[in-house]
Structure 1
Amino acid sequence: MNDFWIDAAALDELPAEDVKGVQLEGLDIALYRVQGEVYATSDICTHAQARLCEGFLEGHEIECPLHQGRFDVRSGKAMCAPLTEDLKVYPVKIEGGRVFIALD
């Protein structure tokens, strides 16, 4: 299966140590800039449909604004209750100061 790279944002539009929500090809995506790296996950919490871009990012963990469940943004792994399902993660590449996300 070939990856389909989508231009998601300018790198300088992503605040350091924070999260930004974007919509790509009808999908809600959260972009995280943590310790100089960029990560991308689904923007919708797997527990209660809250937007993670409205949550609190601490290190590599995003906290859902609704019930305080946390996900690791690098792997999408659900870290604590009430979460039981991991987030979808997307490959990221940076080219020419732009952030690209691979959708499959």
Structure 2
Amino acid sequence: MSAQRACGVAELEQDTPLRVELDGVPMAIVKDSDGEIHAIGDTCTHGDISLSEGFVEGKMLECWAHGSAFSLCTGKPLNLPAYEPVPVYAVEIDGDDVLIDPTVTKEV
């Protein structure tokens, strides 16, 4: 499979996660305070909670339910109670579109 349109760059607000689903794969897309766009799995590994409802600070996304924070760059949990990482997807920008391949996770 190849990268497909996840959203428009203009749809992303700084430090505000956007939930998208590509081929049944839920993702949280975030434009951080540096303007870099990240895509990580949207489901917290501690519980079945949508990370896109959480809080962004720097290069991390915090789950609103139990406070586990995940690195936007690596997907690794930065604190407990989560101890398993979430997948991270490579992001391509094509003009005004954010493209992601939901079948390929980024090597970190």
Report the TM range for the smaller structure's normalisation: over 0.9
Query: What SS does structure 1 have at the residue aligned with 2:3?
Result: strand
The residue number in structure 1 matching 2:37 is: 38
The residue number in structure 1 matching 2:70 is: 71
Tell me how far apart the structure 2 counterparts of residues 66 and 10 of structure 1 sit (CA, whole Å).
Answer: 28
Aligned-pair CA distance for 1:92: 0.3
Tell me how far apart the structure 1 counterparts of residues 15 and 49 of structure 2 sit (CA, whole Å).
Answer: 20
The residue number in structure 2 matching 1:85 is: 84
Runs of 4+ in 1 over 6 A off after TM superposition: none
The residue number in structure 1 matching 2:16 is: 18
Counterpart check, 1:53 vs 2:52: yes
- 5+ residue gaps in structure 2? 104-108
Tell me how far apart the structure 2 counterparts of residues 32 and 95 of structure 1 sit (CA, whole Å).
Answer: 17
TM-score between the two structures when normalised by the length of structure 2: 0.90
**Equivalent residue runs for 1:88-99 within 5 Å:** 88-99=87-98
Tell me how far apart the structure 1 counterparts of residues 49 and 102 of structure 2 sit (CA, whole Å).
Answer: 22
The residue number in structure 1 matching 2:100 is: 101
Say how many residue pairs are matched. Answer: 102
Aligned-pair CA distance for 1:72: 0.5
**What RMSD over aligned residues (CA atoms) do the two structures have, in Å?**
0.9
TM-score between the two structures when normalised by the length of structure 1: 0.94
